[in-house]
């Protein structure tokens, strides 16, 4: 089996600034709903006052969550927007660092509270991809196969 | 000496899903061959069941390889496709995390086996860049100077 | 308050190779000045012979800087170019790894000296965003609100 791909045309391109004290994922999903964005890719840099990340346990098929109520730099955050149950849904992974050279990362969850952050988001036009349950992995994957 | 750049026009834009159990680099290179993609930039998030990364020893000019046969999240993976010996060739760097907050990363090598993964790939149209041996670094760099 | 966004049109797209031994940020800013680029997003992979990163102390509102005079792989580096005091200004975050599986990262500062590096840079056309002092965070943020 091969990489299964769907082609899109570039839509609008946005640079944006996150509001202080708001949740990262919620901010992006709310913006997409208001701007009628169905599909997109994006990248974020900035810093947070608290963060929630997960690592997927591939055997037990559950996310192991860890939450840090402390300041961190977002040193990488890349993700996409596609459709889950009819609404724009963010899937993003994140890497963070702190003053003591601690590095953490994983699948991005709420709550992750922005201190300051900049996003670049490329809207994609074309047939939206829906997420569907995948029995092999236990994840909500893109329904492309 | 300055940053040496070559200009490209955007080609097709793809979102894709990796097949379970396949090698990351091979999947991207096979897709590029089938879709006649010569140049591209891409980003991947997802998870792997095993991973191979390298760090370049700048003095001895060899890659020090480390392989982990364990599940990890791909928390960042960015790269490009250009031409090496006539074929589309992937150059990518990757960051990974596990359940115990271990973080690893480096130059992405095969084998790196996908558990689940999503790619966004921007094809680039223009004169393809070929890789050539660079005596100063010992690396196969873009032949732009 | 919501994510505050500004829309841009894609300009030129560049792939580039960094000169050996030069500073990462200076190389990108010099290229932007010469090519009359006011706004852009970019991503870099490669390796460095020394690196300077910072983590923002959100209470004391100062960057805590750490400098490593040693080789590292750039395993992620994403950023943007916007206007600060009339000139194109780079804001980027970076993640690095070494041979002993040490991972560091943070806000990218000079000096960070390239051993070998590849950039992809998307110029953005539209009303340039200026950075302005933000009293709440103590940072020079995009003046979008």
Mean pLDDT of chain B: 97
Reported as a single tens digit per residue, the pLDDT across A69-81 is: 999 999 999 999 9
Distinct helix (H) and strand (E) counts, chain C: 1, 8
Reported as a single tens digit per residue, the pLDDT across C19-45 is: 999 999 999 999 999 999 999 999 999
Strand bridging mode A87-97 / A72-84? antiparallel
Q: Note if the pTM is more than 0.90.
A: yes
Domain segments of chain C as ranges? 10-142
Strand bridging mode A131-134 / A139-142? antiparallel
Residues 13-52 of A with CB under 8 A from C: 13-20, 22, 27-28, 30-31, 34-35, 43, 45, 47, 49
What is the reported pLDDT for B84?
Answer: 97
- Would the pLDDT of B145 be above 80? no
| Gap between the terminal Cα atoms of chain B | 10
Nearest Cα residue to C128 out of C100, C96, C88: C88
Reported as a single tens digit per residue, the pLDDT across C78-124 is: 999 999 999 999 999 999 999 999 999 999 999 999 999 999 999 99
Nearest Cα residue to A42 out of A96, A111, A121: A121
State the chains in contact with A (3 or more Cβ–Cβ pairs under 8 Å): B, C
Interior angle at CA A93, CA A87 and CA A94, nearest 5 = 130
- Would the pLDDT of A1 be above 90? no
Distance CA B104, CA B77 (A): 12
Q: Decide: residue C69, CB within 10 A, 0-12 exposed, 13-18 middle, 19+ buried.
A: exposed
Contact B53, B108 (CB under 8 A): yes
CB B116 to CB A141 under 8 A? yes
Q: What is the DSSP string of A115-135?
A: EEEEEEEEEEESSPPBEEEET
Reported as a single tens digit per residue, the pLDDT across C114-141 is: 999 999 999 999 999 999 999 999 999 9
| ipTM summary value | 0.97
Backbone angles phi, psi at A136, to 5 degrees: -65, -40
CB C30 to CB B3 under 8 A? yes
Judged by a CB distance cut-off of 8 A, whether residue A11 touches chain B is no
Distance CA C94, CA C84 (A): 20
Length of chain C: 145
Contact C91, C139 (CB under 8 A): no
What is the reported pLDDT for C143?
Answer: 84
DSSP category for residue B38 = -
CB B3 to CB C18 under 8 A? yes
Whether a cis peptide bond, with omega within 30° of 0, leads into A111 is: yes
Backbone angles phi, psi at B31, to 5 degrees: -60, -45
- Would the pLDDT of C1 be above 90? no
Helices (H), chain C: 24-34
Quickly name the fold that domain A10-142 has. Answer: 60s Ribosomal Protein L30; Chain: A; (3.30.1330)
Give the confidence band of A144 by pLDDT, cuts at 50, 70, 90: confident
Give the confidence band of B39 by pLDDT, cuts at 50, 70, 90: very high
B interface test, pick of A1, A2, A3 with most B CB neighbours within 10 Å? A3
Largest CA distance in chain A: 45
Reported as a single tens digit per residue, the pLDDT across B10-33 is: 999 999 999 999 999 999 999 999
Contact B88, B33 (CB under 8 A): yes
Residue B5 in tokens: 């750049």
Contact C96, C50 (CB under 8 A): no
Helices (H), chain A: 24-34
What is the reported pLDDT for A73?
Answer: 98
Residues with Cβ within 8 Å of A127's Cβ and at least 6 positions away in sequence, in order, are A6
Distance CA B95, CA C113 (A): 21
Reported as a single tens digit per residue, the pLDDT across A26-68 is: 999 999 999 999 999 999 999 999 999 999 999 999 999 999 9
CB C1 to CB A22 under 8 A? yes
What is the reported pLDDT for B143?
Answer: 83
């Amino acid at each position: 089996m091969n990489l299964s791909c769907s082609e899109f045309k570039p839509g609008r391109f946005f640079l944006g600034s996150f509001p202080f004290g708001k949740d990262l994922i919620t901010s992006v999903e709310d913006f997409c709903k208001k701007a009628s964005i169905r599909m997109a890719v994006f990248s974020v840099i900035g810093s947070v006052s608290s963060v929630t990340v997960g690592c997927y346990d591939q055997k037990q098929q559950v996310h192991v969550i860890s939450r840090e109520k402390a300041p961190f730099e977002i040193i990488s955050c890349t993700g996409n927007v596609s459709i889950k149950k009819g609404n724009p849904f963010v899937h993003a992974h994140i890497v963070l660092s702190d003053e003591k050279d601690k590095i953490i990362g994983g699948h991005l969850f709420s709550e992750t509270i922005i201190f300051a952050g900049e996003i670049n988001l490329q809207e994609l036009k074309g047939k939206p991809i829906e997420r569907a349950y995948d029995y092999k992995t236990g994840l909500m994957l893109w329904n492309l196969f």
